[in-house]
Each structure stands twice: as C-alpha cells, then as structure tokens.
Amino acid sequence: MILKIKLIPLFLLLYQISLNAQSKAPFSEMSLLGRSNPKLHSDSIPLLPEVGTAFLKMQAAARKAGIEIAIVSAYRSYDRQKGIWNRKYRSNTQQGLKPKQNIKKIIEYSTLPGTSRHHWGTDVDLIDGKQPVSGDVLLTENFHGKGPYVEMRKWMDAHAVEYGFIRPYTSDDNRKGFYYEPWHYSYAPLAIPMLKAYLQLNLNSLLLPEDLEGQKHIDTKFMKQYIQENVLGINKVLK
C-alpha cells in the first residue's frame, strides 16, 4: 500500500508533462501508423530516445536485484507488421483455417498493420536475459508457475510504474481484445497521448492495403469492433 501511495503521484505528474508536450509537438499521422523513420535511442534499444532513457534506468535498477531485463522486440514498422500478418495468414491457411477463422486466430496476439502499439516506439517486449530458454520465449507459461521469467515479472509488477512502464494487455477477465501478454510494456507518458492522437485519425481510410492477406474479408463492421476491442482493449490506466 505504501508503494502505491508513492508511485501514483509520480505517474500522474509524468502524464501531465506528456500532455503539455503534445500540444507543442503533435504526433504525425505517419509516425502513429508506423510509416515514418523515427529517431530511436540506439540499435540495441529500438525505442524513442525518452523511452530508451527510462528503460536503461529501469534495467539498471533490476540488475541490482539480479534480473537482466532484455528486449525481445520494440519499435516495429508498418511494413514489418504487415509481413508478420501475411506470414501468419499464409501459415494458417496451409493448416486449413478458413479466412474468418484465420483472422480471428491472428488477432489473439498480433495486430493489423497500422494498429500496433509497437509502431510508436513506446512499447517493448521483455524477458530476463539471465535465464536460459529455448524456442519461443514470449509464452505466458514462461512468466508464471515455475517459468524462467517469474522473478522478472514479479519485479516488474512492483517497480515498472516507477519508470513509467505499464502493461497494456492485462489478465483482467473483463478486458476484451488481445490475449494477456505478461512480457509487453508501454511507456505511459508518451503512449497515452499517442493513443489519443491515433484515435483522431480516419482509420478506415488509412488501413487495409490491397496486398494484405485476407483484406477482402475485413469489412467496416469488423474494423469498428477491432478498434473497440483490440485497440482499446487495454489497461484502463493507459487510456
């Protein structure tokens, strides 16, 4: 309880600072859709400079507790997200999934290109680099039970907010959209105003390129539900 009393005012202060900054430097349509070429902190920390600085501070603090926070994925361009979508769609088709089943399967964890929070340079997927593991590291069981990243998850649960990082896809049963992702964190001071700016875009006219697999099976009704449940189906602190 004492921890929460100390941390919440800090977060709100950072949030207010970010809102003030937004009025001076609005986010471009291209950057919100992942179509720009943003300046990132570094090749090894592919996040916006402010986010990368906060990440390094958090990483240093975790290291003192014996945890080596490591980045699996951070900034992701529109084209890269489209490649992920198309690859999964083709793979699912080969396994016999019909178009609508295919799309439903993909959006359990993956986004339509142009709708990923990773486009913003504020979001990052993390593991404990000290723990050896083979295969797909971003699995829920790796962060719970006797998984290799349990201690990192517990440390992040207690301390991530001190550095501005919030988990968007929580295990809340009342949350709709993407499945629970214990590895995914958003840098709230920038991600909150970026989401607000993103929702002002005319998304129906900006998304769904002709070379997107399954595009003809994604209509206006689907997009409306997808935005409401998947884009907005996040931790309420980040809205």
**Partners of residue 221 on adjacent β-strands:** none
The residue type found at 116 is S
Confidence of residue 18 (pLDDT cuts 50, 70, 90): low
List, for residues 31-71, the tens digit of each pLDDT value. Answer: 999 999 999 999 999 999 999 999 999 999 999 999 999 99
> What are 207's two structure tokens?
């998304």
List Cβ<8 Å contacts ≥24 apart for 210-215: 211/82, 211/86, 212/82, 212/85, 212/86, 212/112, 212/113, 213/85, 213/86, 213/89, 213/90, 213/93, 214/89, 214/99, 214/102, 214/103
Average pLDDT, the chain: 90
CATH for the stretch 2-238: 3.30.1380.10
What three-state secondary structure class fits 229? helix
The pLDDT tens digits of the residues spanning 95-124 come to: 999 999 999 999 999 999 999 999 999 999
